[in-house]
Structure 1
Amino acid sequence: MASYLLACDSDSVDVRIIQLIQELDEESEVEFVPRIPRVRGYIPRNRESAAQRLWNDYFADVPVYPAKKFKRRERYDALGRQSFTTLQKCTSVIRQLAYGLSPDALDEYLHMSEKISVLCLDNFCKCIIDLYKSRYMRSPTTIDVARLYSAHEEKHGFKGMLSSIDCMQWEWKNCPVAYKGQYTRSDHKKPMIMLEAVASYDLWIWHAFFVMTGSNNDINVMNQSPVFDALKKGITPSAPFEVNGHQYTKGYYLADGIYPDWATLIKGMSCPTDEPRIKFTRFQASARKDKERAFGVLQGRFHILSQPSRTLKVNQMRRVMECYLILHNMILEDNDFALCKWEERFITEERANRAQRVRNRGRDQDVVTREIRDRAVHDQLTEDLIEHI
């Protein structure tokens, strides 16, 4: 281009430059698309009446709520100084759980020492477990199983699917030196404890097992977890279903490739050879993301899970994890996202039915264990699901 311009006189060079500029302008011209203006939504909040109501409730000469009502839980030490209020303790706990703050980071705002913050967190977790574990970490009832079957068949196309099962790790930062070899796995290089969880489409956690050291894999965790204990004891609700003309008596969980070929576990295929198996593997991988979404929501909602644990004892870590799971399910129910609602009459009926099943059970647990681990049933169920999907 430069040699061509040098070979021309000045007038022709100017004309050629103008032509090139016009050509570039024509090539770079883009069709104008008018921008649609965005209208910001406005919510007419009556802030004046809210401020007046708050003043009347607490700060007026004759308030609605007297000071004695809130001071009845306050305590005093031997020097006559007032202890930390319930509001201060709960604020410390919530900030540790939701924001992942270290206990000593709250000293400037709440004037609370690290020791007291850790103690408040542990006591809070104990109270949550004692009060709400029986409701929010319950086993599925007969009504719950029917709802899970229906929802998973509608969303994923899998008949007889209960939930998805998998494990996640939580790093233990303050692990004692004497325990590091026991809690460290070669591929992670840091101490951690594994959580085995079962999650359904609505992200509800139906089962959690959080005591295994990080040196184990998913199979070791499952072999020692109580995920199938109720099924072995014969106290689970009856959950038959039919796929491709074959009857099955037990529901199943979706799992990844490391899990064994059991009748209660359905896996994808590592090397599918034809279109039906490719489609089945794709659907299975898509449905198995329920538990991955559940883990992601847990870590996003409670930021302390996305950071290494600062506790010094295994039992404290276990209580904190169990408290997270209960609060997670509680939030799902409160936001009306849960598939299975808490209905007292169904729970009462299920407890009576479970007691009756315990009295009537007569099968040997070894027989049920062999049925759970039956590979022939696993292969037949997999083929039926391939045909169904």
Structure 2
Amino acid sequence: MMHANLMNNYFNPNLVYIEEDFRHHLRIRHHVFERLLHDVQHVDPYFRQKLDRKGYPGFSPHQKVIVALRMMAYASPVDSMDETFGMSESTCLDTFAEFCNTIIQLYKEEYLREPNQKDLNRLLCKAEDRGFTGMIGSLDCMHWNWKKCHTGWQEGFSGRSRKPTIVLEAIALYDTWIWHAFFGVLGSQNDITIFGRSPLFNNLTEVKSPQLDYYINGRQYNMGYYFADDIYPKWATLVQAIPNPANDAKKWFTLQQEAYRNDVCLYHT
């Protein structure tokens, strides 16, 4: 019954919800969902439909993948899934864990890695087209409320909001590829404290970072740089926003930088 409702709502020819509704409800485009659905079934038998001990069909691949996506997209509590999808709490947790492990197995070589030289060339060309020679990504942090944080940990994970949060430091590119992600640990309540513990520049200090070669205003540079907020330290590898641009050149730079960062769609509170 639950599977039939999903199919009628999103997948059958006379579907109830259109593409825009699908993306709004599941936070994913329909064609991306279809790719995920196909790939996880191909590599992991868990996502293929099986018969239970009584010979009845178990949860369908669509149900399992949608439950995992909704748990991630909305932080939905597992006990709410029973009413909507007829899936018990333990099965929801098993499905969610299996989905995450399978996604890592499937896509880590393609997406969960640092840019190689081919990627860097593509990124540099794109950035140069936008007027930012040598720029290789946008650095920012997101703060997620941790509603069920252990009482003894709340002070160490609480910043100015006075509510415990998990902080994610990420570098995202114009096509929203996030190749660097670092979650804050106890005591890292803001962008600066997490930046100080992040391994982002480890390769740079060990002289392992890719060597670039470009010129700005006649001066040669051999390291790429990231866009960042003005809260970050004034390093050569971080180009910050200008809080109060005083002339036309600075206003133009600020406008172009904001436009590029908005393309990335990374927000923090």
Report the TM-score range of the alignment, normalised by the length of the smaller protein: 0.7 to 0.9
Per the alignment, in what secondary structure is the counterpart of residue 147 of structure 2? coil
Residue 231 in 1 paired to residue 231 in 2?
Answer: no
Unmatched 5+ stretches in structure 2: 1-12, 15-44
**Paired position in structure 2 for 1:209:** 182
2:105 equivalent in structure 1: 130
Determine which of 54, 64, 67 is the counterpart of 1:89: 64
Aligned to 1:259: 232
Answer yes or no: is the 8 Å Cα contact 2:153–2:186 preserved in 1. no
Indicate the residue corresponding to 1:219 in structure 2.
192
Task: Give the TM-score taking structure 2 as reference length.
Answer: 0.72
- CA shift in 2, pair 1:236/1:83, >3 Å: farther
Any idea what the Cα deviations from partners look like across 1:272-306, whole Å, max 9, x if unmatched? 44332333233333333344x1449xxxxxxxxx9
State the TM-score, normalized to the length of structure 1.
0.51
Q: Structure 1: which 5+ runs fail to align?
A: 1-46, 49-68, 297-305, 307-389
Q: 1:255 to 1:109 in 2, by over 3 A?
A: closer
Aligned alpha-carbon RMSD (Å) = 3.1
1:103–1:242 CA distance, 2 compared to 1 (3 A): same
Q: Which one of 150, 161, 164 corresponds to residue 176 of structure 1?
A: 150
In terms of fraction of residues, the more helix-rich structure is: 1
Indicate if the aligned counterparts of 2:212 and 2:222 stay in contact, CA closer than 8 A.
yes
Tell me the secondary structure at the aligned position of residue 288 of structure 1. Answer: helix
Comparing 195-204 with 117-126, which one deviates more in the overlay?
Answer: 117-126
1:217 & 1:199 partners in 2: Cα distance?
Answer: 19
Matching of residues 142-181 of structure 1 within 5 Å = 142-155=117-130, 157-181=131-155
Q: 1:231 to 1:84 in 2, by over 3 A?
A: farther
Instruction: Give how far 1:136 is off.
Output: 0.9
* The one of 250, 253, 258 aligned to 1:277: 250
SS at 2:155 equivalent: helix
Greater length-normalized contact order (CA 8 Å, ≥ 6 residues apart): 1
2:55 and 2:185 map into 1 onto residues whose CA distance is 44
Shift in CA distance, 135/273, structure 1 to aligned 2, threshold 3 Å:
same
Partners of 1:268 and 1:110 lie apart in 2 by 46
Partner of 2:6: none
Structure 1 residues 289 and 214: CA distance shift in structure 2, 3 A = farther
Residue 219 of structure 2 is aligned to residue 246 of structure 1: yes
**Amino acid across the alignment from 1:276:** A
Code of the aligned partner of 2:172: A
Aligned pairs for 1:282-301 within 5 A: 282-291=255-264, 293-295=265-267
Superposition deviation, residue 255 in structure 1: 0.8
Fraction of identical pairs, as percent: 38
Shift of 1:99: 5.3
**Match of residue 92, structure 2, among 83, 101, 117:** 117
CA distance 1:213–1:245, shift in 2 (3 Å): same
1:103 aligns with 2:78: yes
Per the alignment, residue 193 of structure 1 pairs with 166
